[in-house]
């Protein structure tokens, strides 16, 4: 029997799909299901592309990724010299830095709530830390020791320099693609020390890094060195009781960072801050050695009396975090849902209802009544308002009967229509932000369409209009890839295409093969790829994103804990001031979503970008909703932010028809957008499928492998009794085996 080795790998496919984003994966599944031979590649080592749900470490590495392929070509389309002139090479661009920008990460450490909160120490460091950087931060420690407080914050900025054309593979040399920001004030104050230490540190830098990677692997070494730490602790306890609580926190955050190699180095300043405080009698050199020993990463087992969870406690569970790059709720009645149900892709998926919907009314968080029953029991709205709201609801549900009434408003702002419906300001705000999910100037047509979606979705599967996949959105592309694999799709991750080869015959250009970075050529009749991978400029929508880990649920005032696993919060535009140009959407995931560990919440914040950075757009909302604890016991305590990351996401739009100008068998797929429906994804997927397989059924229901029952053979074992055996041997040769299975089924 023959195993397919790298050389024997098939090189000729009907279709190559490059990228495992949701749309691409749906197309791959539909094609494989239809018996088309598909090679599905992704340059990442994970599934999902811009729709991925990533573990913390993957996530950080992904966001930091610098341009992988140097853009050496001035012109991305090149004619090949050695071949006939009708052949061209179309170089792809796998440069993530234009997709994700302005990444800023904060670890917020909190210790005993008894301690006053002091201005946090903030240090900005790059992932590719250089020895000089290290010296800076190191010396910085001696000066900032007094700032080691109950509330410690380490902030990191990752700057992509888009002008950079080189990939720097050597982390030790100054990083050309990143810039290093040190708060100038601190830098100045530490100048003298810095000079003193610089040279010795620079020398020791390689050792430092080496020993760190060893640390990451060897846990036993960590434990051995624990005594060193414990020795230093008594001093701490005697001298500065306050620090005792802060200390483990800092040290722990160190270990979180350990998991992400470069992040590890970034956090050193914090550590050093603490250490210099602890051992002020130690010589500089000693401290440096200390830094190199594993002890500095070991957790001190100080009993925590704090009932409130801190990021510290979470760090050991960081693997249980799943960060969604593209958090988008699914309307229960979205045609996309019908498609996954019909095609049986749902068997790989589990969903949860979004059972808490909140918006801001008159400056306060307010529960949005979702169901009809909710409307009646709601305290948010008065009796009169209930009537008006129900009238609107009924009107929208029977929209088809009101086409005449609506027609003249269709192309006018939704606000005018709402006035026409005699809705008051409160109801208008409620409907606009939560039910219709539109902006102030949105057109009636769009708003009514969305309202209808929302209202029809309520009660489809639950009392909530929205669904969320357990483990995150990244499960969706994986489910389609799995379906594709079951029907013979060949999968390779971490495979990067350098260029497409385009050949012109009789005036018609066709992409006839692709060449990967290992110089393997794969022939294809069609290529499908994300538009963000092609070098030509395309229109983009820019979003601001934040992901927070918090310790509590967001709850409107006067609400007792509601049993909600997933919450959706909309902050209408201008709620937080004139600078907030767009509605901010927040998805709050509880541990039951499987995206975060127990006692913790993962919060996704999204809005269209209007400021320079994501943080500038979103910090006001974070401040508004979190950390602002008051003594007022009527108000549920605001959640605290334990971790946060901000970044901008640029979603690129594909040209209409999804065709490239260069050849009509190059199909370009839009990056996923964060508008409230999956219709664009579905229509692009279906459109491309129809172009490649005209007239064929898009993702028909598959045969159920469980229906094939094999004759059970008598058991050999006494303890194990065979009750029933079943199996599927779905061969990838699409249609034929399908028919067989279907026959068995009948």
Partner 1 sequence: MSMREVKVCLLGEAGVGKSSIAHRFVMDSFNEKQESTIGAAFMSKTVKYNTQTVKFQMWDTAGQEKYKGLAPMYYRGASAAIVVYDITSFNTYNVVKDWVRDVRDTCDTEDFILIIVGNKVDVEEKRNVPRETAEKYCVSMGAHLFECSALSGKNVFEIFEKIAENLPSENPMLHHKRDTINIRPPIKEKKKECCKTQ
For binding to ligand FAD (CB under 6 A), which residues are involved?
Answer: 4, 9, 47, 478, 481-482, 485, 488-491, 732
CB of 8 to ligand GTP, least distance (A): 13
> Interface with partner 1 includes 47 (CB under 8 A)?
yes
The least distance separating partner 1 from the CB of residue 92, rounded to whole angstroms, comes to 20
Residues with Cβ within 8 Å of 66's Cβ and at least 6 positions away in sequence, in order, are: 96, 97, 160, 164, 167, 168, 177, 178
Rounded Cα gap, residues 672 and 332, in angstroms:
19
Between 597 and 687, CB nearer to partner 1: 597
**Cβ 464 to partner 1 shortest distance, Å:** 9
Q: Name the strand (E) or helix (H) holding 686.
A: helix 679-692
User: Are the C-beta atoms of 641 and 605 separated by less than 8 Å?
Assistant: no
Beta bridge partners of 540: 652
d(CA 648, CA 187): 28
Distances in Å between the alpha carbon of 733 and those of 10, 33, 40, 737?
15, 9, 16, 7
Q: Which is nearer to ligand FAD, 379 or 494 (CB)?
A: 494
Which one of ligand GTP, ligand FAD, partner 1, none is in contact with 461 (Cβ closer than 5 to 8 A by kind)? partner 1
Minimum CB separation of residue 30 from ligand FAD in Å reads: 15
Rounded least distance, CB 222 to ligand GTP, Å: 37
**Which member of 381, 479, 600, 654 binds partner 1 (CB under 8 A)?**
479
Say if strands 53-55 and 322-324 run parallel, antiparallel, or are unpaired. Answer: antiparallel
Q: Quick check: 716 and 708 in contact, CB under 8 A?
A: no
Least separation in angstroms between residue 228's CB and ligand FAD is 43
Shortest gap between Cβ of 731 and ligand GTP (angstroms)? 13
* Paired tokens of 41: 């590649």
Residue among 68 and 592 whose Cβ is closer to partner 1: 592
Q: How far is the CB of 480 from ligand FAD (least distance, A)?
A: 8
Q: Which is nearer to ligand FAD, 5 or 220 (CB)?
A: 5
Q: Of all helices (H) and strands (E), which one includes residue 103?
A: strand 100-110
Residue 180 site contact among ligand GTP, ligand FAD, partner 1, none (CB < 5 to 8 Å, cut-off depends on kind): none
With respect to ligand GTP, which residue has the nearer C-beta, 373 or 492?
492
Of 67 and 327, CB closest to partner 1: 327
Q: Which residues pair with 366 in a beta bridge?
A: 359
> Which listed residue (12, 214, 382, 731) binds partner 1 by CB under 8 A?
731
Q: 324 forms bridges with which residues in the sheet?
A: 53
Query: Going by C-beta distance under 8 Å and a sequence separation of 6 or more, which residues neighbour residue 108?
Result: 120, 151, 152, 153, 311, 640, 641, 642, 643, 644
7 part of the interface to partner 1, by CB under 8 A: no
322-342 b/e with 16+ CB inside 10 Å = b? bbbbbbbbbbbbbebbebbee
- For ligand GTP, which residue of 1, 2, 411, 723 counts as binding (CB under 6 A)? 1
- How far apart CA 580 and CA 584 sit, in angstroms, is 8
Stretch touching partner 1 by CB under 8 A, among 4-12, 107-115, 203-211, 500-508: 4-12
State the Cα–Cα distance between residues 414 and 441, nearest whole angstrom: 7
If one asks whether residue 721 binds partner 1 (CB under 8 A), the answer comes out as yes
Residue 594 binds to partner 1 (criterion: CB under 8 A): yes
Nearer Cβ to partner 1, position 163 or 716?
716
Which residue from 11, 68, 195, 319 is in contact with partner 1, where contact means CB under 8 A? 319
Is the alpha carbon torsion for 264, 270, 276, 278 positive or negative?
negative
Query: In the bound complex, what is the minimum distance in angstroms from residue 355's beta carbon to ligand GTP?
Result: 43
Q: Which residues have a Cβ under 8 Å from the Cβ of 106 and sit 6 or more positions away?
A: 153, 154, 155, 156, 641, 643, 644, 645
Q: Which stretch binds partner 1 (CB under 8 A): 283-291, 655-663, 685-693, 714-722?
A: 714-722
Gyration radius (Cα) of the chain, Å: 28
Kindly tell me which of 38 and 121 has the beta carbon lying closer to ligand FAD.
38
Other CB atoms within 10 Å distance of the CB of residue 629: 13
Report CA 131 to chain centroid distance, whole Å: 31
Q: Are residues 344 and 464 in contact, defined by beta-carbon separation less than 8 angstroms?
A: no
d(CA 443, CA 315): 46
Rounded to whole angstroms, the maximal C-alpha distance in the chain is: 86
**What is the rounded distance in angstroms from the CA atom of residue 186 to the CA atom of residue 737?**
69
The residue (of 243 and 481) whose beta carbon lies closer to ligand FAD is 481
Strand order across the 601-608 sheet: 151-158, 100-110, 641-652, 540-550, 601-608, 584-589, 566-571, 356-361, 364-367
CB closer to ligand GTP out of 376 and 710:
710
Q: Which stretch binds partner 1 (CB under 8 A): 165-173, 438-446, 581-589, 711-719?
A: 711-719
Scan residues 3-22 and list those touching ligand GTP (CB under 6 A): 3
With CB under 8 A as the contact rule, the residue among 225, 242, 471, 541 that binds partner 1 is 471
Are 634 and 468 in contact by the 8 Å Cβ rule? The answer is no
Closer CB to ligand GTP, 3 or 719, in the complex: 3
What residue 175 binds from ligand GTP, partner 1, ligand FAD, none (CB within 5 to 8 A, per partner kind)? none
In the list 64, 159, 356, 482, the residue contacting partner 1 (rule: CB under 8 A) is 482
Q: Which is nearer to partner 1, 3 or 506 (CB)?
A: 3
Cα(726)–Cα(343) distance, integer angstroms: 22
Residue 662 and residue 79 in contact, taking contact as beta carbons nearer than 8 Å: no
Shortest distance, position 3 Cβ to ligand GTP, whole Å: 6
User: Among partner 1, ligand FAD, ligand GTP, none, what binds residue 383 when CB lies within 5 to 8 Å by partner kind?
Assistant: none
Between 1 and 383, CB nearer to ligand GTP: 1
Q: Which residues bind ligand GTP (CB under 6 A)?
A: 1, 3
Which residues contact partner 1 by CB under 8 A?
1-6, 9, 46-47, 55, 319, 332, 337, 340-341, 346-348, 350-353, 461-462, 467, 470-471, 475, 478-479, 481-482, 485-493, 565, 592, 594, 704-706, 710, 713-717, 719-732
């Amino acid at each position: 029997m023959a195993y397919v080795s790298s050389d024997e790998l098939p090189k000729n496919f009907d279709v190559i799909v490059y990228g495992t984003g949701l749309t691409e994966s749906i197309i791959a599944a539909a094609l494989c299901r239809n018996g088309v031979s598909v090679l599905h590649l992704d340059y990442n080592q994970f599934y999902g592309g811009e729709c991925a749900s990533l573990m913390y470490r993957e996530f950080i590495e992904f966001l930091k990724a610098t341009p992988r392929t140097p853009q050496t070509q001035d012109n991305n389309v090149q004619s090949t010299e050695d071949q006939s002139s009708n052949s061209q090479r179309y170089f792809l661009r796998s440069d993530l830095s234009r997709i994700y920008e302005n990444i800023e990460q904060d670890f917020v450490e909190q210790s005993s709530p008894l301690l006053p909160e002091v201005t946090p120490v903030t240090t900005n460091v790059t992932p590719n830390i250089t020895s000089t950087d290290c010296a800076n931060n190191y010396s910085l420690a001696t000066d900032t020791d007094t700032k080691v407080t109950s509330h410690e914050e380490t902030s990191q900025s990752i700057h992509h320099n888009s002008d950079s054309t080189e990939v720097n593979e050597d982390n030790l040399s100054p990083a050309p693609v990143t810039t290093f920001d040190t708060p100038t004030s601190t830098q100045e104050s530490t100048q003298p020390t810095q000079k003193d230490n610089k040279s010795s540190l620079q020398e020791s830098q390689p050792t430092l890094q080496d020993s760190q990677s060893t640390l990451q692997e060897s846990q036993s070494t960590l434990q051995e060195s624990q005594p060193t730490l414990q020795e230093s602790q008594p001093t701490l306890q005697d001298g500065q009781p306050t620090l005792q609580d802060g200390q483990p926190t800092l040290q722990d955050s160190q270990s979180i960072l350990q998991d992400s190699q470069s992040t590890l180095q970034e956090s050193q300043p914090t550590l050093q801050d603490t250490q210099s405080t602890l051992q002020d009698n130690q010589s500089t050199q000693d401290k440096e050695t200390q830094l190199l020993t594993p002890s500095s990463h070991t957790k001190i087992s100080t009993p925590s009396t704090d009932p409130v969870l801190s990021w510290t406690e979470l760090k050991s569970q960081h693997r249980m975090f799943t960060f969604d790059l593209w958090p988008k709720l699914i309307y229960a009645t979205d045609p996309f849902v019908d498609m996954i149900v019909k095609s049986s892709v749902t068997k790989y998926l589990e969903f949860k209802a979004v059972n808490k919907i909140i918006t801001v009314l008159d400056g306060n968080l307010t529960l949005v009544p979702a169901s009809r029953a909710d409307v009646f029991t709601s305290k948010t709205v008065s009796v009169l308002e209930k009537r008006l709201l129900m009238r609107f609801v009924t009107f929208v549900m029977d929209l088809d009967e009101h086409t005449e009434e609506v027609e003249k408003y269709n192309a006018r702002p939704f606000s005018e229509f709402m006035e026409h419906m005699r809705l008051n300001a409160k109801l208008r705000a409620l409907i606009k932000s939560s039910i219709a999910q539109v902006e102030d100037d949105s057109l009636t047509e769009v708003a009514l369409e969305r309202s209808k979606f929302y209202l029809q979705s309520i009660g489809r599967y639950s009392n909530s209009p929205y669904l969320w996949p357990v483990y995150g959105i990244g499960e969706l592309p994986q489910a389609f890839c799995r379906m594709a694999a079951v029907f013979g799709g060949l999968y390779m991750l971490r495979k990067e295409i350098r260029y497409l080869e385009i050949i012109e015959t009789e005036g018609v250009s066709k992409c006839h093969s692709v060449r990967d970075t290992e110089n393997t050529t794969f022939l294809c009749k069609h290529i499908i790829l994300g538009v963000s991978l092609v070098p030509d400029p395309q229109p983009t929508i820019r979003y601001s994103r934040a992901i927070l880990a918090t310790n509590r649920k967001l709850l409107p005032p006067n609400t007792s804990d509601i049993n909600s696993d997933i919450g959706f919060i909309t902050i209408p535009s201008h709620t937080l001031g004139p600078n907030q140009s767009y509605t901010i959407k927040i998805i709050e995931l509880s541990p039951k979503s499987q995206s975060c560990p127990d006692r913790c919440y993962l919060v996704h914040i999204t809005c269209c970008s209007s400021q320079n950075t994501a943080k500038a757009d979103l910090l006001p909302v974070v401040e508004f909703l979190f950390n602002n604890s008051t003594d007022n016991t009527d108000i549920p305590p605001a959640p605290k932010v334990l971790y946060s990351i901000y970044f901008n996401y640029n979603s690129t739009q594909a040209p209409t028809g999804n065709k490239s100008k260069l050849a009509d068998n190059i199909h370009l797929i839009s990056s996923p957008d964060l508008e409230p429906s999956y219709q664009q994804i579905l229509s692009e997927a279906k459109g491309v499928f129809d172009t490649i397989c005209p007239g064929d059924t898009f993702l028909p229901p598959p045969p159920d492998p469980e229906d094939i029952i094999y004759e059970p053979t008598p058991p050999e074992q006494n303890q194990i009794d065979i009750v029933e055996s079943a199996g599927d041997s779905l061969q990838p040769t699409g249609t034929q085996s399908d028919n067989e299975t279907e026959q068995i089924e009948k």
